[in-house]
Amino acid sequence: MPVSKNALIRYKTIDRCLRNRHRRWTLDDLMAACSDALYEYEGRGEGVSRRTIQLDIQMMRSEKLGYNAPIKVVDNKYYIYEDPDYSIAESPLSPQDVAKMGEAVKVLRQLSGFYEFSGMEDILGRLEDRLNMAREKARPVIFFDKNDRLKGLGFIRPLHGAILARHPIEVTYQSFRAHSPSTFVFYPYALKEFNNRWFVFGHKPSTPHIVNLALDRIVSLEEAADMPFVERADFNPETWFDDMVGVTKHENDRPEAVRFWASPDEVPYIMTKPLHGSQALIESDVDGSAVFELNVIINREFVRLLLGYVEGLKIISPAKLRYVMERHFRLALRNYSSKP
């Protein structure tokens, strides 16, 4: 059932009060807290009646919103949560919610076979796992890589909004190499996650080519008011990343043919998880080793990916990439040739 914004503010306020076990809450206390919250968020100064709070508590106790809040009255005066760990923010899905989500997942599962809905498998997996938890009260069985300590995640939402609304932004940014932050106007075009870090791609007026900013290096950002949005015809996010691994692409970068040998131990992994979408098997040896070729921009993320295979991979061509790999191995060997 639809719930008004004011009602939601009251429910959340009552919930916050009752989760505070260091104080005993009367009906008058809850009225005052809800009145203060409505004034703070909505500018409403007329206050909340006793009848409204009583109806709110009745609604929170019911199944209509799926809360089933365990609110009880002690000493005929004070309101508390019977379960001290309860919160409406953590309330389980109602049977009706579970049924509706189940039907929605069935429809999405059918649509996922179409090209327009490709890439939804991970989302559907999460939904189905959440449904299983709701139905069986089971532990989750699907886990995704995440970094809860990663900085900059709070910028995803405002950047996403700026991209959709085509608003330029003013960014204060400090790269790893910079001694102090700098502030500049930026025209955001797309967000991309790579290796548990988030990046925003766009145009910086002082730089002729497309640049990316790591969200964990952004100090602050705000909308650049009264400025027109500048589009770049040379940037298409649907194809920009096709010829690369990671996020680094410079103005004159072009994909190159990279041929490499892989050991028998590494071949199954490289076959099942290609280093790039252009990867092709060139030849196989009787010992299980193989030669592969791919067409990709040689950037630092690609080099680091190759280094992850260490002794199980050898670059055949181009010569400049062989040199880069040799240099990394020489430097690494120097680190282990001396005492710790």
11-55 pLDDT, tens digit per residue, is 999 999 999 988 889 999 999 999 988 888 777 777 889 999 999
Q: Does one domain contain both 314 and 273?
A: yes
Number of domains comprising the chain: 4
pLDDT of residue 107: 65
pLDDT at 144 > cutoff 80: no
- In this predicted structure, what is the pLDDT of residue 138? 55
CATH of the domain at 235: 2.30.30
Among the residues of the chain, which ranges form H helices? 5-19, 27-42, 50-61, 95-111, 121-136, 156-165, 237-240, 267-272, 300-307, 319-337
Is 312 in the same domain as 260?
yes
The verdict on 123 and 75 lying in the same domain is no
Residue 143 falls inside a structural domain: no
Residue 268 CB partners (closer than 8 Å, separation 6+): none
Task: Give domain status of residue 251, yes or no.
Answer: no
pLDDT at 250 over 60: yes
Which of 106, 136, 166 finishes a domain? Answer: 136
Residues in the chain: 340
Residues 42-70 have a mean pLDDT of 85
Q: Which of 60-64, 156-160, 325-329 has the highest mean pLDDT?
A: 325-329
Instruction: Tell me what pLDDT residue 182 has.
Output: 92
237 phi/psi in degrees, rounded to 5: -60, -20
Average pLDDT (110-129) is: 58
**Which are the contacts of 257, defined by CB distance < 8 A and separation ≥ 6?**
293, 294, 295, 317, 318
* Residues 23 and 101 placed together within one structural domain of the fold: no
| Model pLDDT for residues 263-294, shown as the tens digit of each residue | 999 999 999 999 999 999 999 999 999 999 99
Tell me what pLDDT residue 193 has: 87
The pLDDT of residue 116 is above 50: no
112 and 79, same structural domain? no
Same domain, 122 and 79: no
Which range of residues forms the domain containing residue 46? Answer: 5-90
Q: Do 124 and 78 fall within a single domain? A: no
**In this predicted structure, what is the pLDDT of residue 127?**
66
In a domain, 320, yes or no: yes
Same domain, 27 and 105: no
Across the range 145-153, mean pLDDT stands at 72
Q: Examine the domain organization and report whether 174 and 206 are in the same domain.
A: yes
Residue 46 lies in a domain: yes
Residue 279 lies in a domain: yes
Q: Does the predicted TM-score (pTM) go above 0.75?
A: no
Across the chain, what does the average pLDDT equal? Answer: 85
In CATH, what number is assigned to the domain containing residue 64? 1.10.10.10
Handedness of CA 13, 16, 19, 21 (dihedral sign): negative
C-alpha span between 185 and 175 (Å, rounded): 16
In a domain, 310, yes or no: yes
Tell me: the pLDDT tens digits for 76-106?
A: 999 999 988 888 877 565 666 666 777 776 6
Report pLDDT for 174.
92
Question: Could you tell me if residue 149 is inside a domain?
Answer: no
Residue with tokens 């072009």: 254
For residue 1, what pLDDT is reported? 46
Average pLDDT over residues 177-200: 91
Looking at the fold, whether 24 and 80 belong to one and the same domain comes out as yes
Q: Which of 104, 136, 168 is the C-terminal boundary of a domain?
A: 136
Q: Are 217 and 176 in contact (CB under 8 A)?
A: yes
Q: What is the pLDDT of residues 154-186, one digit of tens each?
A: 888 889 889 988 999 999 999 888 889 999 999
The residue out of 240, 274, 306 marking a domain boundary is 240
239-245 LR contacts (CB < 8 Å, sep 24+) = 240/190, 240/201, 240/210, 241/192, 242/277, 243/278, 243/295, 243/296, 243/297, 244/296, 244/297, 244/299, 244/301, 244/302, 245/275, 245/276, 245/296, 245/297, 245/299, 245/301, 245/302, 245/305
User: Does residue 26 lie in a domain region?
Assistant: yes
